[in-house]
Amino acid sequence: MCFMHFDWSDKRIEEWDALMARVPQSNLLQSWPYAQMVRSELNMMPRFATIIENGKTSGFFQIQEVKLAGLYHVVALDRGPLWLEGAGSPSQWQEFVDLFDRTYPRRLGRRRRLIPEWEKTPDHKQILTKHDWRPKAATYQSIWLDLRLDIKDIRSGLGQKWRNALNKALRSDLIVSEKNDLASFEHHLNQYAGDRFHKRYQGASPNILRALHKYAKERNECLLLEARFEDVPCAGVLVFLHGQAATYQMGWTDETGRAERAHQRLLWRAIELLKERDISWFDLGGIEPDAAEGVTKFKLGLGGRPYELVGMYT
């Protein structure tokens, strides 16, 4: 019989990084910079746990908490746990959900949120509802691009329209460069914020992105790329790195950038740089097939594998 328990002992950054490095498809919300951002911007306290089974670590996760006066309690587990190689079977998931539920049972004054890093299937939903977790919000969808492939194979896997646009961008007078200074980041953040406001699409707030960039930059875990046309910035993308994976988090393009296909050029350069840093998987940062059909088609053109998580439960 397998006995599972959570080890809540203090975790050092190096320990957490070593765990993240063992998961090919990790996510930003379980990274150390994300925990730092949550503490500084959302006033929630991160706690880190490993999943121990028969004396061995099989997975790990971080939660975010708020406690007031011993009565009010918020606990959130977003996009976890992450399982190590060979773990994450249906029986382990069942035991995890049961143990998490017993650790944080439903009670007056406690607000719980669980967004499992678990793809959407009827069986997975059944395990959650069996333990009285109630679906609360729409599921999260995105695309994984396999960067372990040779760059020629990634290019041949592009959709025809995407490849044609990339070829046009490569022939244009666009200048693409990596930016590491704070002034450049603030410029692209302001462009993104304006774009987000006018188009009214979902996305992280400027304050959250500013904090994430600060903490990730300290660890050399972010990539900001800029496209310029006739010496004027016309597009930008921001990518965060975490373990073996990376996430496309922020982007914007103006009319000149769209005409010159700057976004295709920027993402292709990001792929090249991520491969140079031995990143294995690239999460394209979320899709909404119904609400944002154009963005979804654009990201699908990169040829990755779409996935859909089981969703938010409370």
* Rounded average pLDDT over 189-201: 81
* Rounded average pLDDT over 241-263: 97
Mean pLDDT computed over every residue of the chain: 95
- pLDDT band of residue 2 (cuts 50, 70, 90) is low
Q: Distance between CA 184 and CA 218 in Å, rounded? A: 16
Can you give the pLDDT at residue 16? 98
Please determine, for residue 1, whether its predicted confidence score (pLDDT) is greater than 70. no
Q: Distance between CA 39 and CA 36 in Å, rounded? A: 5
Please determine, for residue 197, whether its predicted confidence score (pLDDT) is greater than 80. no
Q: Which residues of 246-258 are buried (b: 16+ CB within 10 A; e: fewer)?
A: bbbbbbbbbebbe
Same fold, 4-133 and 143-308: yes
Q: Is 298 helix (H, G, I), strand (E, B) or coil?
A: helix
With beta carbons less than 8 A apart as the criterion, state whether 113 and 312 touch.
yes
Phi then psi for 300, rounded to 5 degrees? Answer: -65, -25
Question: In this structure, what DSSP letter does residue 302 have?
Answer: T
Query: In this predicted model, what pLDDT tens digit does every residue of 130-152 receive, in sequence order?
Result: 988 999 977 899 999 999 999 99
Report domain 4-133's class. Answer: alpha beta
Query: In this predicted model, what pLDDT tens digit does every residue of 83-125 receive, in sequence order?
Result: 999 999 999 999 999 999 999 999 999 999 999 999 999 889 9
Structure tokens at 216: 């990730």
DSSP assignment of 238-274 equals EEEEETTEEEEEEEEE-HHHHHTTHHHHHHHHHHHHH
The CATH architecture assigned to 143-308 reads 3-Layer(aba) Sandwich (3.40)
Q: Where are the domains of the chain?
A: 4-133, 143-308
Can you give the pLDDT at residue 201? 67
Query: In this predicted model, what pLDDT tens digit does every residue of 4-47 receive, in sequence order?
Result: 999 999 999 999 999 999 999 999 999 999 999 999 999 999 99
